[in-house]
A and B are shown apart, each in its own frame.
Chain A
């Protein structure tokens, strides 16, 4: 493997088998034999047991009517839909909590991590207490705790209003929302396209600057493509962007965006718990940048924001990104604790399916498939990002 330890060429023997190869072969045959034997034993038991219980294996049950209620879902669902659709709704619920959780945990964790390095003693001590407390208490306990607090909130009629239009009650958190339909999506689509175009133009501008050393401002393109263009489209199509304010009608709210207490508790628990770990990663990443780099950047008279962006962060990110990947994976896997408070994520849906149909193997296989896919996608994306920001030794 290493270039400095060249191996001597293997000695040719009769039958090309040395004592070591034979031994290796023996061990492999033994271990594989045991593994195959155990699996065959379990498999034959399973087949016998399933036929004794009259459960047919296979995924045919996915086409049947699910009949389970899913209270809070991103996608339209009613109990007469199929198990397959129930699973998809569950996956969407998992992704909804995982994606938003990852974004919020990264922001909160970075803030806490930077606070731990603050010159202000009080702030850094508070951040340390935050990290130490949250890390040393089981997530499930924190989740139950938040959920109990949610349930202890006042009823909808006496809801707290921290800000006008925002209600916090035992029905969850209710926020004002902008209804998004096809016309609004067109405008948002233009903005995304504009951002992509801006990214390419900026790369081209930087390449130009690398050639002749002349800085070229990129911000006019940003304003033009990401702000002005979508605004123009919006005005041309006459799209309305009215904010829908939630209103109390009877015992519940109408309009606005509702975060159900289960979802809200799960989100808070996942975000605060993971942010404690992310804070430690960010702190050690920043601390890993040698002092000389700060001093050198100072000596060059660079502005503080430029110094952080161009000198410190690129070096810190090399240390931060790999452990961050495993935190993102942990958050996604931990979202399965939803089953404890009745938020219907994919594990919870699979569990209900399993109890209703007895299709244990299929349900567990689906959970595994979903989580392996999510894990692999996150690892793949983070590895790509890591390779992109990796230090190029010159």
Chain B
């Protein structure tokens, strides 16, 4: 009998809500449901309180917020006790935009705004139409004009002066814009009935996925000049961009292949029955369904890939992380790298967190409750 009296806990819990203060009831069910649970809550609260307290002490109470230009004495005074947030107003222009000419920095800033607007528009389900492709092409062209200049009275800025956040966004966005079609082609190739095309696709995907991105980037920075005819050379940023596109293509291909596998066989057969050609069948029938299936994993791949652009630090390209690391080489501010890293981490976090929230909101309606 004891076993049976154990089970009907559900009705008891269901009766309880009618009595007592709702706050107390919530505390009871979520924090103090049993004695071990209560002890755990108290211990966690104590640790959390201590952590938050020491962080506030370091980051707010003892922190140095502002100092005169290029004078870190106030920061040195609180070193070890408090944060030196003064380094952020001192260095943020360099961290965000690198060595881009100071008076022209509204251009990269505007590019960043355009990028964010582009991302926002791409998340609107109502805009998932052919026009979105034109919008992307237009926006990327506009950003190129803004960054390079040389026309419409904008002075020309060569890309070795670009740096910071725009470079990170350029690497990620162009990597995506070119990697995505490449991924579609390779995914189709991998499912093709033609053995030569299939094995080439498999070889490409497995080779790229088998090695770390770092080695691909080394390859782009060191071996690329060897591959090209003598005298022909292209910019370091573009070489890294090519490596990132190839890398993204392989990973996106695998995600898209998953989507292709999820399209029911009947859809292929129906398309064949209509007499559609291979390309029309995929463009009109198969791919729209396949991609819709894999939008959440695609967004997760974009997040991974956005973070991975930071690896260009290793080959010395001035993306957001590299400018941050360079900003603290300055001897006067050398000891305050933690603050700079927190600032940059917050920027990366905002982008990735927004994307992961979005991915979850896409998954939500389809998850059975």
Interface residues of A (CB under 8 A from B): 2, 5, 24, 27-28, 31-32, 35, 42, 45-46, 48-50, 52, 119-123, 126, 132-133, 135-142, 144-145, 148-149, 152, 298-299, 301, 333-334, 336-337, 339-340, 347, 350-351, 354, 360-361, 364, 367-368, 371-372, 375-376
Residues of chain A within 8 A of B349, CB atoms compared = 133, 136-137
Say yes or no: B227 contacts A145, CB within 8 Å: no
Interchain CB contact under 8 A, B210 and A375: yes
Q: B307 touching A137 by the CB < 8 A rule?
A: yes
Contact B223 A360 (CB under 8 A): yes
Is B218 close to A, CB under 8 A? yes
Residues of A within 8 A of B314 (CB): 337, 339-340
Chain B residues with Cβ below 8 Å from A133 are 349
The majority secondary structure among interface residues of chain A is helix
A35/B200 in contact, CB under 8 A:
yes
Q: Known contacts being A120-B30, A141-B348, A144-B341, is A368 close to B311, with CB within 8 Å?
A: no
Interface contact A145-B341, CB-CB below 8 Å: yes
Distance of A289 from chain B, by nearest CB (Å): 15
Which of A24, A148, A360 interacts with B337 by CB under 8 Å?
A148
Closest 10 CB pairs of A and B: A136-B352, A121-B30, A138-B307, A336-B212, A333-B212, A28-B196, A138-B310, A336-B214, A372-B210, A42-B227
Residue of B nearest to A44 (CB): B229
Contact B353 A122 (CB under 8 A): no
- Given known A-B contacts A28-B194, A136-B356, A360-B222, A145 and B211 have beta carbons under 8 A apart: no
Interface residues of B (CB under 8 A from A): 3, 7, 30-31, 33, 37, 40-41, 44-45, 48, 193-197, 200, 207, 210-215, 218-219, 222-223, 225-230, 265, 303, 307-308, 310-311, 313-314, 321, 325, 335, 337-338, 341, 344-345, 348-349, 352-353, 356
CB distance from B318 to the nearest CB of A (A): 14
Contact A364:B307 (CB < 8 A) given known A45-B228, A120-B30, A298-B7: no
What would 10 more interface pairs be, CB under 8 Å, given A45-B228, A49-B226, A376-B210? A28-B197, A122-B41, A123-B44, A135-B303, A138-B307, A142-B345, A367-B215, A368-B207, A371-B215, A372-B210
**CB within 8 A of A135: which of B45, B321, B352?**
B352
**Given that A148-B338, A368-B207, A375-B210 are known contacts, is A140 also in contact with B215, CB under 8 Å in the complex?**
no
How far apart sit A142 and B342, CA to CA, in the bound complex (Å)? 10
Kindly report which residue of chain B lies nearest to residue A139, judged by CB atoms.
Answer: B307
> Is A50 a contact partner of B226 (Cβ separation < 8 A)?
yes
Inter-chain CA distance A367–B41, complex, in Å, is: 48
Docked Cα-Cα span, A323 to B234, in Å, equals 38
Report yes or no: A137 in contact with B348, Cβ–Cβ below 8 A.
yes
Query: B341–A364 contact, CB under 8 A?
Result: no
Residues on the B chain within 8 Å of A372, using CB: 207, 210-211
10 A/B residue pairs, CB under 8 Å, sorted by A: A28-B197, A46-B226, A120-B31, A136-B307, A138-B348, A144-B341, A148-B337, A360-B226, A364-B222, A367-B212
- With both chains docked as a complex, state the minimum distance between the C-beta of A19 and any C-beta of chain B, in angstroms: 12
Q: How far is it, in angstroms, between the C-alpha of A309 and the C-alpha of B329 when the chains are bound? A: 53
The answer to whether A368 touches B210 (Cβ under 8 A) is yes
Q: Are A141 and B341 in contact (CB under 8 A)?
A: yes
- Give complex CA distance A148, B342 in Å: 12
Q: How far is the CA of A149 from the CA of B337 in the complex (A)?
A: 9
Q: Is the CB of B211 within 8 A of A27?
A: no
Distance (whole angstroms) from the CB of B224 to the closest CB of chain A = 10
Closest to A133 in B: B349
B218 touches A24 (CB 8 A): no
Chain A hits for B223, CB < 8 A = 360-361, 364
Residue numbers in B under 8 Å from A339 (CB-CB): 214, 314
How distant is the Cα of A197 from the Cα of B92 in the complex, in angstroms? 63
B313 interface neighbour in A27, A45, A340, A350, Cβ under 8 Å? A340
One of B196, B200, B218, B313 near A140 (C-beta < 8 A): B313
A367 to B215 alpha-carbon distance, docked (Å):
7
- Residue numbers in B under 8 Å from A135 (CB-CB): 303, 352, 356
How far, in Å, is A98 (CB) from chain B's closest CB? Answer: 11
Chain A residues closer than 8 Å to B211, beta-carbon distance: 333, 367-368, 371-372
B residues in contact with A347, CB < 8 Å? 212, 214-215, 218
> Is B37 in contact with A120, judged by CB distance below 8 angstroms?
yes
Alpha-carbon separation in the docked complex, A2 to B269 (Å):
14
* A250, B31: Cα distance in complex, Å: 51
Looking across the interface, which residue of chain A has its beta carbon closest to that of B47?
A: A126
In the bound complex, do residue A136 and residue B348 qualify as a contact, i.e. CB atoms below 8 Å apart? yes
A140 and B310 within 8 A (CB): yes
- In the complex formed, the residue of A with least CB distance to B354 is A136
Residues of A within 8 A of B227 (CB): 42, 45-46
- A138 CA to B303 CA, complexed, in Å: 10
- Complex CA gap A24/B225 in Å reads 36
Query: In whole angstroms, what is the CA distance A148 to B229 when docked?
Result: 42
A375 to B215, CA, bound (A): 15
Min CB gap A302→B, angstroms = 11
- List residues of chain A with CB within 8 A of the CB of B212: 333-334, 336, 347, 367, 371
Distance in angstroms between the alpha carbons of A152 and B308 in the assembled complex? 27
Q: Are B44 and A122 in contact (CB under 8 A)?
A: yes
* A121 closest partner in B (C-beta): B30
For residue B45, which residues in chain A have a CB less than 8 angstroms away from its CB? 122
Residue on B nearest A355 in the bound complex, by CB: B222
Which residues of chain B are near A48, meaning CB under 8 Å?
Answer: 229-230
Residues from chain B with Cβ under 8 Å of A27 in the complex: 194, 197
Q: Which residues of B contact A32 (CB under 8 A)?
A: 196-197, 200
Closest to B196 in A: A28
Say whether A140 contacts B341, CB under 8 Å: no
* Chain A min CB distance to B226 (Å): 5
Contacts of B307 in A (CB 8 A): 136-139
Contact of A49 among B197, B213, B225, B313 (CB under 8 A): B225
Q: Report Cα–Cα, A45/B226, bound state, in Å.
A: 7
A31 near B310 with CB under 8 A, answer no
CB-based contact A141/B321 at 8 Å: yes
Measured CA separation A282–B310 after assembly (Å): 28
Q: Are B215 and A364 in contact (CB under 8 A)?
A: yes
> What residue of chain A has the Cβ atom nearest to residue B309's Cβ?
A138
A121 neighbours in B (Cβ, 8 Å) = 30-31
A90 to B23, CA, bound (A): 58
Q: Are A24 and B356 in contact, CB atoms less than 8 angstroms apart?
A: no
CB–CB B222/A31 < 8 A: no
Identity of the chain A residue whose Cβ is nearest the Cβ of B33 in the assembled complex? A119
Q: Which residue on A lies nearest to B80, using beta carbons?
A: A152
Residues in A with CB closer than 8 Å to B218 are 347, 351, 354, 364, 367
Q: For residue B219, which residues in chain A have a CB less than 8 angstroms away from its CB? A: 364
CA distance A307 to B37 in the complex (A): 21
> Could you tell me the distance between the alpha carbons of A347 and B337 in the complex, rounded to whole angstroms?
26
Give Cα A306 to B311, complex, Å.
46
Closest to B266 in A: A5
Provide the residues of chain B in CB contact with A364, threshold 8 Å: 215, 218-219, 222-223
Q: What is the CB-to-nearest-CB distance from B53 to chain A, in angstroms, rounded to a whole number?
A: 16
